[in-house]
Structure 1
Amino acid sequence: MQHTPVPAKSIPSPEKKTIYPQPFAALVEGRVKRKLGDHFGLTHFGVNLTELAPGAISALLHHHSKQDEFIYILQGTPTLLLDEKEYPLSPGDCMGLKAGAGVGHQLVNRSAEPVVYIEIGDRTEGDEVDYPNDDLKAIQLANGVWSLTHKDGRPY
């Protein structure tokens, strides 16, 4: 836990890039997350500085049952997918994603330049994540660990 200010880019990204099982993990290979909130010992919400290489995605298209999310674009021009709609974003653009709204969301970097953004989310126990286009379901357990299964409950 850090008790003094630091440059955000000096915080290392975790060795394990994703909680997704294969084959989904391969889809986010071009994403690098620096867990800023964890670095400072924050427990009520997470803050990530995330970079998407050209062609990379932020996550599978998904929506949360209990956790709100917020993104703020710092660099680059990603495309925000909200279900079937697409929105081009630029530095300074932001979006709040309300828990329980059932709107799938995902950032895609279709440009030739890196995208850098801040993402903030709470850590509500019992949150369930639905991935409408993929056979994946996630539930946040009491200890903060995510349980990932097929939609029918079979483990990966």
Structure 2
Amino acid sequence: MAKIDLDKLQARSGSIYPGNLAGQMDGRTSLRAGDAGGLTQFGANIIILAPGAKSSLRHWHLNEDEFVMVTQGRVMLHMDAGEEEMTVGECAAFPAGVADGHCFINQSDEEARFLVIGTRAPHEVATYSDIDMKVVLGEGNPVFTRHDGTPLPDDI
């Protein structure tokens, strides 16, 4: 398969975040273009943000590189140093192991889309910058804990 018909991909919504954190991703959907094309070494997803929606909680990856290119609308990139608007054709890169949390928020009145390409490491740790949480991804389900590895509270 070479050409991928994006109109035929099932949009995925929701979040793997635990508890009340999952609701913060309302208005975010994704198209798993890389999966549809059979890619195994890296992921390629199109993230769709409704007005007011955000891509994720602000985070950084220990083992995975991430590349983003805005394909429709405009988004605000939120990082440790502050925020910066990104528009169609603009790109951002997040090298593995750089502890600078990032996320994207659609602060406009129109839908925004961006392409995310990232490594598929066999073992990954993502650390969340604004809350005491990290996730370990590997075999099986994601495991969310506090930064020090202790369990999260039930009311998160």
Which is richer in strand?
2
1:1-156 equivalence runs, <5 A: 3=1, 5-14=3-12, 17-141=14-138, 143=139, 145-151=141-147, 152-154=149-151
Unaligned runs of 5+ in 1: none
Q: Report SS of the residue matched to 1:100.
A: coil
Over residues 53-82 of structure 1, what are the superposed CA-to-partner deviations in whole Å (9 max), with x where a residue is unaligned?
000000000001111000000111100011
| Letter of the structure 2 residue corresponding to residue 24 of structure 1 | L
Alpha carbon RMSD of aligned pairs, Å?
1.7
State which drifts further: 38-47 or 88-97.
38-47
Specify the code of the residue in structure 2 equivalent to 1:154: P
1:148 partner letter? F
- Structure 2: runs of 5 or more not aligned: none
Instruction: Give the TM-score normalised by structure 2.
Output: 0.89
**Alignment partners' CA distance in 1, 2:39 and 2:106:** 29
TM-score with structure 1 length normalisation?
0.89
Q: Say if 1:9 and 1:34, in contact at 8 Å, map to a contact too.
A: no
Q: Give the share of equivalent positions with the same residue, in percent.
A: 32
Aligned AA (1:147): V
